[in-house]
Structure 1
Amino acid sequence: MFIAMAVAGTSLGKAKGPIVDPALCRCCRSIKKCRLLSSEYEWLGKKEVYSDMLMDCFGLLLSHLDGEPKDSGVCATCVGRLREAVAFRQQVLQSEQAFLDARLENKDEVPLVETKVKVEPVPDSDASVGGHDDDQDYEPECKVEIELKSESPEKRKKTRPRPLVLKKRSKRELFDRALALQDKLDELLDQGPPSPPKKLKAQKRTPDDHDHMVYHNTITIVLNSYVCPFHNRISNYYCYYCRDQFTNPVELREHTLVHKPSMFESMTENKKIPKIDITRIDCRLCPAKIETLEDFKQHVSSVHNKKIFPVQNEFLKFKLTLDNIKCTECNSSFPYFDSLKKHMIEHFGTFICDQCGACFLEQNSLRTHIKSHNKVEANFPCEICGKNLKSKYSRYLHVATVHEKKPTVNCYKCDSSFLSYALRNRHLIEVHGDKRTFPCKLCDKVYNRRKTLMEHNRRNHLKVYRHQCDLCDQRFYLPSRLKEHMATHTGERNFRCEFCDKCYPRLQSLQEHVRSHSSDRRYKCDICNATFTQNGSLKSHMKSHHQFELNANFG
């Protein structure tokens, strides 16, 4: 577990403050990257403390917020929902205040409140010096006119509109004040956008302008098209907005449509390349059917007057399918999404390790990799069984699942929890009717987990044996098998039978021997129905008793 400081600027809507990864979200009980409930963050120029927001909005006082940081988190999804709730509460309070003010002014008759919003760009003092850059938003002066109407025309004439001019404020405060008037504001904007102030002098671009243009294009494409942003882990797809898990990309795309794309901007992590499915691109603003991103950029710019900067490759593009997935750049085909994601490094990997030449898509991934070159072997022993774990969090999970038998694997369709992923998969099949069968395309094996299928392919078909013996040419898939193999060179017999003290160099040999002490006679002769505890005993039996029958059948 580590705590990092978010460094993204407020101009892009990122919150400044400590980040804990991983941590427990106290609002949805998911374990992921979280912010701290009791810490102060800066977002869009305003300070916010999420525990205070929960108290002000819902009257909820959460306990034990001064304990471990990993137990006092709130994830980005819940932060977005909390902000929406606070904004809605402010909207209701403002509407109620406007109603009471109008009621006090006219006690005899309940008036109707009609609100007119005018957005007038007023150049400030800075405009007279250097002007406004086209890439930088300016602060307009927002004029709100509140006019009281009654059913009597005579009273309507006597009532004068009361202009309320809001001086230059932060974007967030303007947004909060105008939230209740959003519908009428949209109608006015549709009639024609206000002309921006004249640019008196062009300013030089900063080094971060390219990142800003990429970010702006990404937001514009997601908000105005039907592309599908997503997360992934071990070839499973997760909804970008609520983290629901899917194995079928068609179901992922259908589910994503229930979310508002406006949430994308507040949830996007700066400096991290998003993954977006472009199987369907069509325009959200009109019925136009569009096939490519370049056509969409041209369409949304020329037809809908949206600002599009002249940059490309704003994000990683995929066309997700249930079977083989093709690379959108070179049309190469891959059986699993993880294989395709690693392949994308060949096209977009720009961050290279100076020590080993490894290439990465993001600078953060390169930094994590560089730390592995100077990695000090972590040692976090379990106090109960003595097993060494990689980190404190790994030790916590080990104690919770192995010794305390606490369910830590949550079902993403209900509130059930389980001790292992295998038990959760069985629950998904039996309770929710999921069809979780993953057949191997190269043999007749079928598995209930995609990860198990991937390991089967790597071990049996791709022959990914990374662990080689230093004394011979044999290679192994697991380091434990290499360790067992080394006993054949050293003569060590570290696996002792607890019944008869016989020792064996391999664990599998010991397990087969232990069956001789039990009634587990799983090996059966097909000719005479004799049973044996070990496969070697069955082979010896076949050679000594049925050699004639074997020669007659296969001779």
Structure 2
Amino acid sequence: MATPSGSGKNRGPIVDPGLCRCCRSIKKCRLLTAEYLWNGEKEIYSDMFMDCFGLLLSHLDGDSKECCICAACVSRLRDACAFRRQALQSEEVFLSARLETKQGLETKILLEVKQEPPADDNDSMGADDVGMGEPDLEEQDPKSEPSASDPSDADYKPRRNKKPGRRQLLAKMNKLRDKLDHMMSATEAVAPKREKIPRAKKKESLDHDNMMYNNAVTIVQNSYVCPFHNRISNYYCYYCKDQFVNPIELRDHTLSHDPKELFESMMENKKIPKIDITRIDCRLCPDKIDDIDTFKRHITNTHGKIIYPVDNEFLKFRLTSNNLACTECNSVFPYFDMLKKHMIDHFGTYICDMCGACFLEQNSLRTHIKSHNKVEANFPCEVCGKNLKSKYSRYLHVATVHEKKPTVNCYKCEASFLSYAQRNKHLIEVHGDKRTFPCKLCDKVYNRRKTLMEHNRRNHLKVYRHQCDLCDQRFYLPSRLKEHMATHTGERNFRCEFCEKSYPRLQSLQEHIRSHSNDRRYKCDLCNSAFTQNGSLKNHMKSHHQGYDLDTSFS
């Protein structure tokens, strides 16, 4: 199914799944004949095949699922085209250097010709000789050569001047000029066929990031846009990292910082920032402006600031307390992390060569690539032996569990706590926060935002990243995948301590243990019968209370 990756800023359709015509893999692909935007340049992959290899691919007008190319092959095609351009540019530079060398040699010869040869005893020429015409350059000097009739010098051979004469120099110069003219004519015949545009494009590409960076600095420093960081659906001040849940509080707080003193120095590695454009307006005059393009024209024409001809200097958002709308296509999302994930469809320029996943930032792509080469690493606690997934997790475990150090800080004061639950209680009692987080897609309510996000990712976004190698089932947690693998291998690793029964899943074992403890938590509202398992209650309702709507009574 081909889905567009943007509306106003169309970056080309994505086909999932599609057949790659280059490696025959079936995965998320792009169309060979569609136009895409990469690093500020447009590219059509079928044209790139023709330009680079002279290869005309067939049947590109048929089913879109069969006219595709995967991200890995796109990367290799780009490398091939870049290598071709590099070879052409190197050849052009080589010919230019050869011509410059020849021209320099010709100039040197001309300078030598223009210099008068110094007068000496063996070769003297007066001013009158110059006016009378050129002498014979091979003429012998009678003063320096003995007579041939002298018997003592019978074997003597006439000696020529060691320095070349003027006619000899002119002959050499004419010969070099002929060679140079031949090379220049050959180069002029080839040069029009060579692409000089790629060199200009390369320079433009190298400067593109700097132009985006300079635009972002100019816009933020001269407007009221609000840069910010985020983690899940929490917002953080770009300058002091204070945490906010309400975007209105974030905007009011950000006004206390001066962007002209802080923003440029705090842009990490010229990384594209996230900007709230709920309020833009001009800081230099009272004009009210609610559109970035309008602000660019205003700041250039009215205040003489330099704005370069590039777009997408940052990721634009309009932050609201409830539903969030995409600034590109007006799609609405209940949570910021869902909106941010959607923005990849518009601006996802960083592509994983192994799986085709797209990302907004290069750092996110690097982190993702590490997951392909992930090695299971355990960091055991030296006190209790528990395995943690990272050094930081082990540090938090030791600090909170064994050393009882408060590691959870309140973002509204300097208080610290041992757990997030204690901090939430502090926020309610001291700061008057409402720590209830209802799900906007169902009727669930949670007292922690992180728990709500976990519920959202598991039940509504269906973020199942752990797939079984033997079937198509996916799971949210790796532990659930490990339990599922037992259904393929027949292993029953969860054994009851009260009897000899064993189960492939921990949940099945826990339900079984209730039968030993007589924990009859599932009660019938009609006859007060109680059961240890939910499945037993449902069977009871079907057999004893037929016609009763189970969905209205049990979830």
TM-score (norm 1): 0.56
2:217 aligned residue (199, 208, 219): 219
Note if contact 2:224-2:281 (Cα within 8 Å) is conserved in structure 1: yes
Q: How much does 1:276 deviate? A: 0.6
Q: How much does 1:531 deviate? A: 4.2
CA–CA distance in 2 between the matches of 1:493 and 1:207? 58
Note closer, same or farther for the CA distance 1:531–1:369 as it changes in structure 2 (3 Å cut): closer
Q: How much does 1:414 deviate? A: 1.8
Note closer, same or farther for the CA distance 1:456–1:287 as it changes in structure 2 (3 Å cut): same
**In structure 2, what is the equivalent of residue 4 of structure 1?**
none
SS in 2 for 1:270: helix
**In structure 2, what is the equivalent of residue 17 of structure 1?**
none
Q: How much does 1:522 deviate? A: 2.6
Note closer, same or farther for the CA distance 1:437–1:205 as it changes in structure 2 (3 Å cut): same
**In structure 2, what is the equivalent of residue 437 of structure 1?**
436
Note if contact 2:350-2:365 (Cα within 8 Å) is conserved in structure 1: yes
CA–CA distance in 2 between the matches of 1:349 and 1:220? 24
CA–CA distance in 2 between the matches of 1:366 and 1:500? 50
Note if contact 2:224-2:280 (Cα within 8 Å) is conserved in structure 1: yes
More displaced 10-residue stretch of structure 1: 493-502 or 237-246: 493-502
- Residue 274 of structure 2 aligns with an amino acid whose one-letter code is K
C-alpha offsets along residues 182-212 of structure 1, whole Å, 9 cap, x if unaligned?
A: xxxxxxxxxxxxxxxxxxxxxx978754333
**In structure 1, what is the equivalent of residue 338 of structure 2?**
339
C-alpha offsets along residues 382-410 of structure 1, whole Å, 9 cap, x if unaligned?
A: 22343433332232223223443433221
Note closer, same or farther for the CA distance 1:431–1:286 as it changes in structure 2 (3 Å cut): same
Q: How much does 1:285 deviate? A: 1.8
CA–CA distance in 1 between the matches of 2:251 and 2:426? 24
SS in 1 for 2:236: strand
CA–CA distance in 1 between the matches of 2:382 and 2:500? 29
Q: How much does 1:306 deviate? A: 2.5
Note closer, same or farther for the CA distance 1:458–1:210 as it changes in structure 2 (3 Å cut): closer
C-alpha offsets along residues 335-367 of structure 1, whole Å, 9 cap, x if unaligned?
A: 222222222233223333333333333333333
C-alpha offsets along residues 411-454 of structure 1, whole Å, 9 cap, x if unaligned?
A: 11122223333332233223221123322233211122333233
Note closer, same or farther for the CA distance 1:302–1:342 as it changes in structure 2 (3 Å cut): same
CA–CA distance in 2 between the matches of 1:403 and 1:484? 30
- Residue 399 of structure 2 aligns with an amino acid whose one-letter code is A
Matches within 5 A, 1:223-262: 223-261=221-259, 262=261
Aligned length: 348
CA–CA distance in 1 between the matches of 2:210 and 2:401? 47
CA–CA distance in 1 between the matches of 2:534 and 2:361? 51
**In structure 2, what is the equivalent of residue 420 of structure 1?**
419
CA–CA distance in 2 between the matches of 1:291 and 1:388? 52
Q: How much does 1:371 deviate? A: 3.7
- Residue 407 of structure 2 aligns with an amino acid whose one-letter code is T
CA–CA distance in 2 between the matches of 1:369 and 1:287? 45
- Residue 223 of structure 1 aligns with an amino acid whose one-letter code is Q
CA–CA distance in 2 between the matches of 1:396 and 1:245? 23
Report the identity percentage: 82
C-alpha offsets along residues 150-206 of structure 1, whole Å, 9 cap, x if unaligned?
A: xxxxxxxxxxxxxxxxxxxxxxxxxxxxxxxxxxxxxxxxxxxxxxxxxxxxxx978
CA–CA distance in 2 between the matches of 1:552 and 1:334? 39
Matches within 5 A, 1:168-187: none
Note closer, same or farther for the CA distance 1:266–1:476 as it changes in structure 2 (3 Å cut): closer
CA–CA distance in 1 between the matches of 2:345 and 2:542? 55
Matches within 5 A, 1:64-143: none
Note if contact 2:334-2:440 (Cα within 8 Å) is conserved in structure 1: no
SS in 1 for 2:272: coil
Q: Which has the greater radius of gyration? A: 2
**In structure 2, what is the equivalent of residue 399 of structure 1?**
398
CA RMSD of the aligned region, Å? Answer: 3.1
- Residue 457 of structure 1 aligns with an amino acid whose one-letter code is N
**Bigger fraction of residues in strand:** 1
Matches within 5 A, 1:309-348: 309-348=308-347
Note if contact 2:344-2:358 (Cα within 8 Å) is conserved in structure 1: yes
More displaced 10-residue stretch of structure 1: 394-403 or 257-266: 394-403
Note closer, same or farther for the CA distance 1:554–1:513 as it changes in structure 2 (3 Å cut): closer
Note closer, same or farther for the CA distance 1:501–1:399 as it changes in structure 2 (3 Å cut): farther
- Residue 252 of structure 2 aligns with an amino acid whose one-letter code is E
Q: How much does 1:310 deviate? A: 2.7
**In structure 2, what is the equivalent of residue 367 of structure 1?**
366
Note closer, same or farther for the CA distance 1:528–1:267 as it changes in structure 2 (3 Å cut): same
SS in 2 for 1:338: helix
C-alpha offsets along residues 47-87 of structure 1, whole Å, 9 cap, x if unaligned?
A: xxxxxxxxxxxxxxxxxxxxxxxxxxxxxxxxxxxxxxxxx
**In structure 1, what is the equivalent of residue 483 of structure 2?**
484
Note closer, same or farther for the CA distance 1:214–1:470 as it changes in structure 2 (3 Å cut): closer
SS in 2 for 1:344: helix
Note closer, same or farther for the CA distance 1:418–1:518 as it changes in structure 2 (3 Å cut): farther
- Residue 255 of structure 1 aligns with an amino acid whose one-letter code is H
**In structure 1, what is the equivalent of residue 509 of structure 2?**
510
Q: Which runs of 5+ in 2 are unaligned?
A: 1-201, 551-555
State whether structure 2 residue 460 is matched by structure 1 residue 450: no
State whether structure 2 residue 407 is matched by structure 1 residue 408: yes
- Residue 216 of structure 1 aligns with an amino acid whose one-letter code is N
TM-score (norm 2): 0.56
CA–CA distance in 2 between the matches of 1:329 and 1:552? 50
Q: How much does 1:239 deviate? A: 0.9
Note if contact 2:222-2:283 (Cα within 8 Å) is conserved in structure 1: yes
**In structure 2, what is the equivalent of residue 460 of structure 1?**
459
Q: How much does 1:229 deviate? A: 0.4
CA–CA distance in 2 between the matches of 1:351 and 1:483? 32
CA–CA distance in 2 between the matches of 1:413 and 1:288? 34
Note if contact 2:213-2:270 (Cα within 8 Å) is conserved in structure 1: no
Q: Which runs of 5+ in 1 are unaligned?
A: 1-203
Note if contact 2:514-2:532 (Cα within 8 Å) is conserved in structure 1: yes
SS in 1 for 2:275: strand
CA–CA distance in 2 between the matches of 1:205 and 1:478? 47
- Residue 268 of structure 1 aligns with an amino acid whose one-letter code is M
**In structure 2, what is the equivalent of residue 183 of structure 1?**
none
- Residue 363 of structure 1 aligns with an amino acid whose one-letter code is Q
